[in-house]
Amino acid sequence: MTNIYKDPKKRDMKRRLLEIAIETLQAQGWTVERTTGGASIRTIRKGGESYRISIRTSQDQWIAFPRREDDKAWVTLSSVDVVVVVSVDDLRHSSAARVHWIEADKLRVRFDRAYMARKKAKYSVPLGRGLWIPLYIDEDGSPSHAGGGVGNMYPEIARVPLAATEPERDPLVASRAIATQIRANGSVAPADDQSLTIGEAKRRLALTLGVPEASIKISVEA
């Protein structure tokens, strides 16, 4: 699979997919907290419920977990309650993220099946390295697709636009576009030359960037 850390665009996409996972959970009423165990691990809470989750992002519609070095369990997958998978909707022209909520025990069964199928077929499955299964390719008897189709079995709980990663949604470009219109009197002059308050400018910028209005800061210098 592609090493995303060598490609800035793929790194940005990974960051965006992670943001979408967290935003989706928060929109559904969960509080999301960082916890120990790795960069993908979070604790989520709502009412009396609490889960330890792993957020997995996918830009090729496959997901992976490594087998532990002692070959007794899965790294991360064996220590969480839920896996939240966020995948692009299309391999060549992605426009949205598909968010899936999958109970970890159900996913472990599929990874166990994939592991055994590949070992039986004499595939090399190094311990400590990721074993990949396809999200949207169902099992068809081949070792490569064993355990696959989990994204079909557990339909998405949300589909979120990737607009924030598109060039026209770039924060620097958008902020410059508005900043150039800010007048010294604290208002904004839009194209029709009608004054616009800073509050309205923040609202429009938040919509443009797809971020909360509270995260927008505008300073005016005379």
CATH code, 102: 3.40.210
Token duo for residue 151? 């994204």
The tally of domains found in the chain comes to: 2
Strand 62-66, strand 130-134: pairing: antiparallel
Quote the pLDDT of residue 218: 75
Closest CA to 107 of 68, 72, 64: 64
Q: Does 150 score more than 70 pLDDT?
A: yes
- What SS3 class is residue 42? strand
Q: What is the DSSP letter of 68?
A: P
Segments forming the whole domain that contains residue 124: 4-163
pTM: 0.71
| Neighbouring residues of 79: CB distance < 8 A, sequence distance ≥ 6 | 37, 52
Assess whether pLDDT exceeds 50 at residue 98: yes
Q: Does any domain span residue 221?
A: no
For residues 125 and 71, the answer to whether their CB atoms sit within 8 Å is no
The larger pLDDT score, comparing residue 103 to residue 195, is at 103
Residue 69 sits in the same domain as residue 172: no
Q: Which of 144, 163, 182 is the last residue of a domain?
A: 163
Bridging pattern class, strands 82-88 and 49-58: parallel
